[in-house]
Every structure is written in structure tokens, then in C-alpha cells.
A and B are shown apart, each in its own frame.
Chain A
Amino acid sequence: MRRLGKRREPGWAAAILGALAALALLPLATRRDDVLNFVFLILLSITLAESWNIVAGYAGQVNLGHAAFFGLGALVARTLWIEGTPIVLAMGAGALVATAFALAIGVAAFRLHGAYFAIGTLALGEILRTTVSNVLSDISTLPTATIGAYRLSHRYYFALGLAAVSVVAVAALGASRIGLGMQAIREDEEAAEASGVGALRLKLTALALSTGLAGLAGGLFAYYHISYYPSHPFSPHWTFDALLMTFIGGVGTLHGPVLGAVLYVFLKEYLALHWVDFHLLIFGALFIAIVLLLPGGLVQAVERARRLLAR
């Protein structure tokens, strides 16, 4: 049983936001697109991992259909943006649609518990993916004029802002009464209900927050990529990436998903560069080793090391 308490992690929040602020200077320091693209990938991953962390890490509901909300955000934002809506509004609309869809299915989905919730959401994600890939089978490419005006640094600052928003959101949630209620549900739903926590309402709140952020991240994806298949952001690998990053880092903490996302992207890109053919094999094996050796993720490893040093 973990100790419950409003998790105030101002130290970590300040450190992460400080690091993000420093990254704001990166486009001024380098003009290399590969560096900016790499950091963009990390920032997008942080947002995605933190968004998944809200519903799985705090409220304890392992949502395996997260990609559906990322995909919905991307689909709506892309469509509106190409038709001329300003990108900020388009992304907002994408997030709204993702949240509305989440609330609509959430009431039914939360009748399921534990593994059944995980299986049910996995299936929901797949329903959306197959439907989108059948209905919209053509690749989506930006109009030539938009490609001409494409500035990577714009996308980069959007990603930076979104990562900061997600970190602030999770920090605020962890320090709040709602966040405390969610953690109570995670530890023991019946006991939480008995002590006056409205489980369904809080789980829906967690899902709405989580999917809203995922929708925004999807909008960012739609803004960033010049061409992709509309079903691509619905692919289950977005869910698995978020899950893996969150667990590698430390689920249910503010800094865990951030550390996890950084390590995950670095590791994957490094292995892809140096072990072209075998990189996914090594990556999978390495990942299994991390799960078996560090069940609490990097956060727990850091804690252990700190305690050893303090002795």
C-alpha cells in the first residue's frame, strides 16, 4: 500500500519547467533541423505520456485505447486547419471532440474494472482505427502553399508549450483534492467510495483531462506532419508508447513520465542508428529487463540510489 497524500512536487515541477524554458533558446542556438526534430519528438512524447499518466497513474485505470483520442484530436484539427481555421482554434476543437467522445463512452467503459477495462478500451481504439482507415483511406497531404510556408520552429514552440501545459496540469492535479481522490480510487475503489469519494465522477474527470491533453497532442501531430495516413495517429503503438514511457519512468508521479519519455526516445533513436536491423529486438528485450529489474521505474531506482548514498 502506497502512502496517500497530496503529492506536492514543486522541486520537480520547477526543474522540469526550467529545463523546458532553457529548451526555448534551442532554435536560436542551432539551425539544425535534425536536432529540433529530435527534441520535438521528446516534447510530443512527454505530453502523450503525461496525458496517459493522469488516467492510469493517478486514477489507476489502464486505458489501452488512448490512441483513439490522440487520433481524434489529429483528425479534427487537421481537417479544420486545412480548411482555413487558425491552428490554435483547430487544435482546441480537436481536444474538445476527443474529450466529448471520451465522456460519451466513459460512462459505459467504467462499468468495467481492471483487466476488463483494459481489454474494452483496446477494442474501442481498434474500432475507431479500422473505421477511419476504411472510410479515409487516402493519404492526407498539406496544400503546396502551406508546405512553402512551413516553419519547423513554429511547431517546436507549440510542442514546448504543450509539454509545459501537461506538466503543469499533472503537478496541479497531484497537489489537489481531486488528485487525492483519484489516488484513493487507484488504491482501493470500494474503500474510496465508502469514505465519500465519488468514484465515477472522478474517473470521468481524469479521463476528460487525459483525453483532452491527448487530443491537443494529436492536433500538434497534425500540425507537424506534412503528410500521413489519417489512420496513422489511431495506431495502437501510440498507446503502447505512452504506456511504456510512463512505466519506464515511474507511473503516478510527475517526473516519471518525463524521465521515461526522454530515456525512451533516446534509447529508441540510438538503437535505430547503431543496430539498424536488430534495434526493435534489443529494444524489446531491454524493455522487458527494465520491467523485471525495476518494477517501480526510474523514479524508484533514483530513490534507492539516494537512500544508499544517504546511509
Chain B
Amino acid sequence: MSALAQQLLLGLLIGGLYGLAAAGLSLVFGVLKVLNVAHGELIMLGGYGAFWLVALLDLDPFAALLLVLPLALALGLGLYWGLFGFVVRADEETRIKNSLLIGFGLALALHALAVRLWTADERSIVTPYGGAVISVDGLSIPVVRLLSLALAFALIGGVHLLLAHWRWGKAIRATAEDWQAALLTGIDVRRAYLLAFAIGTGLAGAAGTLVSIGYSISPSIGLEWTLKALIVVVLAGLGSMLGTFVGGLVLGVAEAASASVFGGPYREVVGLVLFVVVLVVRPRGLFGR
């Protein structure tokens, strides 16, 4: 029994990162109506960014997050100006197809770049307090992962508040709902796209940092994380940041439960089946508007 509880707890902890990974993708998909299949590669880059900062500057990994965030935001601005800004000029159907194409091209290039820069080895950030564990009722909670979950929640909550109260946050939400109407009321839709994409990339960078601290990264984790993020986006539906976070937790726990019941190798399969079922039965997602 306690073995199962322990598994579920670990699932919950990684679920927070699934939620954070999905939040950025959800924002970009919901607002720009483009499907960035290179989102996982952005997470991977964020992880290596943190890895580099820790290795070269000897920073604390959680302090590195403070540097990775602005860097990822800047990368998002660059990617939007260089690539995705061209995609959003087309109508919605074409947007999806072109963003898929550009995403695949980008994923290929970023993967190759990462192998070149950091080799194909698996890496993770090692900290002196990495092995610390809190014991509660026979359950052991790794401190680093607990902290990651809390930070993921804080970041998603922060973006939620931004979208709810900030002037441009409201503009982003209006654009997501109906960009033509938003344009008519005088909202600079292009600026809203740019901001949403930059924030989405920033969230990916943060997710990557937390993944490299509590888990491990390699240049080929991109597709895996894109899939996890897509699953959560579909599970949760568009339009709610906090819903996305809960969707991430649901996926993490579902995976852990299926890993204990059917065995480790089937961990992903059950998550994917769950995803397909939700997609078909309730295409708007559990919390979708």
C-alpha cells in the first residue's frame, strides 16, 4: 500500500512539471492558434541553459532559474520575430500546417545543435542538497522535487494573475477569444501574439530548468516533452492556466498509477490512452471553455 502511495506521490511531483510544460504550449496554441511542435526542444534548451549556468558560473540551480527566465523570454521574442511572426499572417488552417512544418524544422535543428554543444549524454544538475528527503508517515518526499512543484505552481499562478489583471494580459485573452473583435476594439493583436509567444517560451525555459534539477535531460527529450505537454493541453482544455496545472497533476498521477498496476514499461501507454479517450469524448478538455 505504501509503495503505491509513494509512486502516486512521485507522480504528483512530476505532474507539476507536466503542467508547467503544458502551460506555455497551451498559451501559444490558444492565443496564436499555432501548434509549436518544437516546444519540447525549447524545454530541452532551458534545461541545458540552466546546466551551463550552474557548471560555468557555479550558481545555485534555483538561482539559475532567475537567469534562464529572461533568456528564454528573449529567445521567444527572437523566434517570434524570425519565424512564427510569419506564420500568424496566414488564415487559421494554414497556420496549423505551417507551424507544424516550421516546428519540425526547428526541432531538427535544435536537436542537432544540442548534440553538438553538449553531446548526446544524459545530464542532470547535481546539488549538495539533492539527496535530501522529508519523511512523512513512511512516505519520503525528495526536497528538490517538492520545491520544483511549488515553483511550477508559483509560475503558473503568476502567469494566471498576469493574464487576469495586467493590461496586456487582458489583451492577450481578448485576442485568444476572437482576434478580429480584439483588433476592432483597438488591441494591437500582433503585440499580444508576441507577448504570448515570449511568455510561452519563458515557461518552457523554466520547465526545462526544473526538469534538469530534479530529473535528467538529453538532446532527444524534446518530442517526449512535447507529447506530454500536448496530452495535458488536451486533458485540461484551452483557456485556463490553473486548469492546465491540474491537468498536469492528473497525468502525473495517472502515469504513476498505471506504472504500479501494469508495470513500468506501460507507464506512457496508459497516459496516451487516457488522452485519446478524453480527446474523442470531450474535445474541449476537462476544464476547457
Q: Which of B260-289 contact A (CB under 8 A)?
A: 265-266, 268-269, 272-273, 275-276, 279-280, 283
Q: Which one, B102, B104, B116, B276, contacts A278 given CB within 8 A?
A: B116
Cβ of B176 under 8 Å from chain A: no
Q: How far apart are the CA atoms of A279 and B111 in the complex, in Å? A: 12
Shortest Cβ-Cβ A-B pairs, 7 listed: A284-B109, A280-B112, A284-B108, A134-B265, A288-B105, A287-B105, A281-B112
Cβ of B113 under 8 Å from chain A: yes
Q: What would be 19 A-B contacts, judged by CB atoms less than 8 Å apart?
A: A62-B96, A112-B279, A112-B280, A112-B283, A119-B35, A124-B276, A126-B268, A126-B272, A130-B265, A278-B112, A280-B108, A281-B112, A284-B105, A284-B109, A288-B106, A291-B102, A292-B86, A292-B102, A295-B98
CB pair A118–B268 under 8 Å, yes or no, is no
Q: How far apart are the CA atoms of A244 and B106 in the complex, in Å? A: 12
CB pair B279–A284 under 8 Å, yes or no, is no
CB pair A281–B105 under 8 Å, yes or no, is no
Q: Which one, A111, A114, A116, A285, contacts B234 given CB within 8 A?
A: A116
Q: Name the residue on B nearest A279 (C-beta).
A: B112
Q: How far is the CB of A198 from chain B (nearest CB, A)?
A: 21
Q: How far is the CB of B6 from chain A (nearest CB, A)?
A: 23
CB pair B276–A62 under 8 Å, yes or no, is no
Known: A111-B283, A116-B279. A240 touches B230 (CB 8 A): no
Cβ of A34 under 8 Å from chain B: no
CB pair B106–A127 under 8 Å, yes or no, is no
Q: Name the residue on B nearest A280 (C-beta).
A: B112
Q: How far apart are the CA atoms of A8 and B39 in the complex, in Å? A: 40
Q: How far is the CB of A282 from chain B (nearest CB, A)?
A: 8
Q: Which one, A115, A130, A284, A295, contacts B35 given CB within 8 A?
A: A115
The binding surface of chain A is classed by DSSP as helix
Q: How far is the CB of B210 from chain A (nearest CB, A)?
A: 23
Q: How far apart are the CA atoms of A131 and B267 in the complex, in Å? A: 10
Cβ of A83 under 8 Å from chain B: no
Cβ of B141 under 8 Å from chain A: no
CB pair A285–B109 under 8 Å, yes or no, is yes
B86-126 contact mask (Cβ, 8 Å, vs A): 1 or 0: 10001011101110111011111111110010000000000
CB pair B112–A284 under 8 Å, yes or no, is yes
Cβ of B71 under 8 Å from chain A: no
B13-30 contact mask (Cβ, 8 Å, vs A): 1 or 0: 000000000000000010
Cβ of B231 under 8 Å from chain A: yes
Contact-residue size bin, chain B (C-beta under 8 Å from the other chain): 35 or more
Cβ of B227 under 8 Å from chain A: yes
Q: How far apart are the CA atoms of A291 and B104 in the complex, in Å? A: 11
CB pair A116–B272 under 8 Å, yes or no, is no
Known: A119-B230, A126-B227, A283-B108. A288 touches B83 (CB 8 A): yes
CB pair A127–B105 under 8 Å, yes or no, is no
CB pair B35–A244 under 8 Å, yes or no, is no
CB pair A127–B269 under 8 Å, yes or no, is yes
Q: Name the residue on A nearest B263 (C-beta).
A: A134
Q: How far apart are the CA atoms of A64 and B101 in the complex, in Å? A: 12
Known: A123-B275, A281-B116. A114 touches B104 (CB 8 A): no
Chain B residues near A292 (CB-CB < 8 A)? 83, 86, 102
B231-254 contact mask (Cβ, 8 Å, vs A): 1 or 0: 100100000000000000000000
Chain B residues near A244 (CB-CB < 8 A)? 101, 104-105
Q: Name the residue on A nearest B33 (C-beta).
A: A115
Q: How far is the CB of B120 from chain A (nearest CB, A)?
A: 12
Cβ of B163 under 8 Å from chain A: no
Q: Name the residue on B nearest A60 (C-beta).
A: B93
Chain A residues near B101 (CB-CB < 8 A)? 243-244, 247, 287-288, 291
CB pair B230–A122 under 8 Å, yes or no, is yes
Q: Which one, A62, A109, A236, A279, contacts B97 given CB within 8 A?
A: A62
Chain A residues near B280 (CB-CB < 8 A)? 108-109, 111-112, 120
CB pair A118–B116 under 8 Å, yes or no, is no
CB pair B283–A240 under 8 Å, yes or no, is no
Q: How far is the CB of B92 from chain A (nearest CB, A)?
A: 8
Q: How far apart are the CA atoms of A120 and B277 in the complex, in Å? A: 10
CB pair A288–B109 under 8 Å, yes or no, is yes
CB pair A284–B269 under 8 Å, yes or no, is no
Chain A residues near B112 (CB-CB < 8 A)? 278-281, 283-284
Q: Name the residue on B nearest A107 (C-beta).
A: B280
User: Counting chain A CB atoms within 10 Å of each CB, which of B94, B104, B112, B116 scores highest?
Assistant: B104
